[in-house]
Structure 1
Amino acid sequence: MNTAPGQSEDRALQADCESCFGLCCAALPFVASADFAINKDAGTPCRNLRTDFRCGIHTRLRQSGFSGCTVYDCFGAGQKVSQVTFGGKDWRQAPETAQEMFAVFPVVRQLHELLRYLTEALTLRPARSLHGEIRRLLDETGRLTELGPDALGKLDVAAHRQDVNVLLLRTSELVRAGAGQAGRGKKDRRGADLMGARLRGADLRGASLRGAYLIAADLTGADLRLADLIGADLRDADLSGADLTGCIFLTQPQLNAARGDAATRLPPALTRPAHWS
């Protein structure tokens, strides 16, 4: 997997805004809500985007009503599209590239998200029997990110996501089997509507919370060890004192969207958000 100039492979899946042409601020739409102060159409630069592609209110996004920006992560797709797919040619200097660049960015972002999950899957020892298949799909996904703009625009990314998801599900099952009998009857909560749910102190060890709606849920002191949290919506969920060690497929944006405290136990690869108490 190639990286942008000067970028190590270790950082290829982390956003590098200094090497990006403000793509998340221009390509993506948002709607006025608790997350965004204004409406913005796809392909229209945000009013806060400066001429140097930096955010004019970056240090006060939450106070300015743009908390949604603080929980977004392109997983390195921004710099990949800017510096590799379009060779460092930005959409302001070359406006003829803007429409194609904005269309390609969400595709590459999906592929980079898959790379992030597959990379984590390779570190999970209970799933080592699948590591060969995981490596194959990791390499294939990496190759797809190297396609040119035209090929990326025609890519059936949904079909590729499905292939990856099947493997990630098998990985999840092997990892969560380590929870044994813990949480039996609670384990499959895929896509569950748990908005505002009272789960204080809940034993959710080994639970599948894939795609679950946990918006504003009370997970204070909950045991989420070995839980699968891929795609779970944790906006405003209270993770104070919760144990997330060993949980799988949790991302930094999910944590950033939640609330927690100094007693929240996190996987070693993730950091405690600055806005937590």
Structure 2
Amino acid sequence: MTRSMCRTRRAGKSAGVVAAALMALAACSSSSDSSSHRATGSAPELSGTVTVFAAASLKESFTALGREFQRQHPGTKVTFSFNGSDSLAAGINAGAPADVFAAASPKTMAVVTDKKSTAGTPATFVRNQLEIATVPGNPHKLSALKDLTASGLKVVLCDRTVPCGAAAEKALAAGKVRLTPVSYEQDVKGALAKVELKEADAALVYKTDVRSAHGKVEGVEFPESARAVNDYPIALLKNAPNAAAAKAFIALVRSAEGQKVLTGAGFLKP
């Protein structure tokens, strides 16, 4: 197959981009190449389970990459624990068995990497930006961050201890906006769900989460979000039960192919 056949055309919607990127991955990884590697012994054959602890906002893109990793490496299995980054970091420090940690902020990653016996050196692999998520049709005519202070409007934020909540605080401070949310959620998916279920009128979530909702919410951009962009670091955990496969999964995430999937889901390049 020629290189031109392996290129993925840009799709109009994020779901199409992710699907196209995965098709390109499949096309560019020929079975003959795989058998050649095994025959020459130039690359060890991977097997076993890779356990990945990842920020909730990575759920859709990492799940897709996990399926692709398993396709590329028959005999492997990728399992995920998606949650707020702070909860995942606490679990890792408490001894939860995992191979890879992907956090939604360097600050949360530092909770793990500061314990030098726990994790290796992290690398930023994507970035993410906030957006206002509101119910479809935007009935409250939200167009700016200050609109969230309207009387009677039910707004949800992520808890201050998790990266999406910390980013929201930065954005609100940048816009000199003060508001009292009806609830603080433990991760970004929880905040998004409140709007999807129409239990809240709006929430501050990542752009990637608005896209992943597939029309169940409507996104509203606001300029202050540029002051609160989160870097996402990924690291191999030092006591990884399956270090070889974990390194290969991280390599896929950071590869050009992996980046196509992630940027197709709405993430920004590092």
TM-score, length-normalised on structure 2?
0.29
**Which is strand-richer, 1 or 2?**
2
**Which is helix-richer, 1 or 2?**
2
TM-score, length-normalised on structure 1?
0.29
